[in-house]
Amino acid sequence: MQESNFINTKYEIVFESENIYYVKLDAKLISDYLTMVNDPDVASKISHKIRTYTYEQELDWVNSKLAEGALCFSMIEKATGEYIGNIEIMEINDNIGELGISITASKQDKHYGTESIKAMLKYAYEELDLDGMELNVYDTNSKAIHCYERVGFIRDGIGKTEEDIHMRISR
């Protein structure tokens, strides 16, 4: 409970799951964001165009996401208060959200992907009344594909590029 009070005063919690707080993007987390997006292994799984981001670029990204009211949340580990990654509904078309997630290297392989996707689906269905979610994942990202399938996503053809798999899940 004491950790929760600290997190409440440090970040704006939007929702939570068993082990994770989902908070609004925050400039206080930019060094954590940069550690994640500038890690070549993480970057190779979320972008075809790997590049190094600066503090100013990341601050601009945070401010633009906040200004547009994006459904993008930072994940904070309840037990430690440490940054896990970000999860986002990138756009909504025909009442279907497009899911995006990235987890910093030090927090991978701890089942946070599964927990956070389930929590985001619950949020999407209960708070946003969405009918389903879809995503695109690189066909070489077997850990992510396994995670999505474990949650209930099914493969639904080629994604945005020939190297992507499109996946979907319905309510």
Between residues 118 and 45, the one the model is more confident about: 118
Is pLDDT above 80 for 39? yes
Per residue in 8-34, pLDDT (tens digit) is 668 999 999 999 999 999 999 999 999
The pLDDT-based confidence of 171 (bands split at 50, 70, 90) is confident
Q: What is the DSSP string of the chain?
A: -HHHHHHHHHS-EEEE-SSEEEEE--GGGHHHHHHHHT-HHHHHHH-SS--PPPHHHHHHHHHHHHHTT-EEEEEEETTT--EEEEEEEEEEETTEEEEEEEE-GGGTTSSHHHHHHHHHHHHHHHTS--SEEEEEEETT-HHHHHHHHHHT-EEEEE-SSTTEEEEEEE-
In the chain, the largest separation of any two C-alpha atoms, in whole Å, equals: 48
- Which token pair is 74? 């930072």
Nearest to 20 by CA among 122, 115, 120: 115
Per residue in 133-147, pLDDT (tens digit) is 999 999 989 999 999
- Which token pair is 116? 């956070």
- CA 94 vs CA 130, 131, 137: distances in Å: 9, 9, 21
CA angle 152, 154, 159 (to 5 degrees): 130
Radius of gyration from C-alpha coordinates of the chain: 16
Cβ neighbours for 8, distance < 8 A, ≥ 6 positions apart: none
Residue 2: per-residue pLDDT: 46
Per residue in 74-124, pLDDT (tens digit) is 999 999 999 999 999 999 999 999 999 999 999 999 999 999 999 999 999
Query: Do 75 and 21 form a contact (C-beta atoms < 8 A)?
Result: yes
Residues facing 17 on adjacent strands? none
- Please provide the average confidence, as pLDDT, over all residues in the chain: 91
Residue 1: per-residue pLDDT: 43
Residue 133: per-residue pLDDT: 98
Is pLDDT above 90 for 50? no
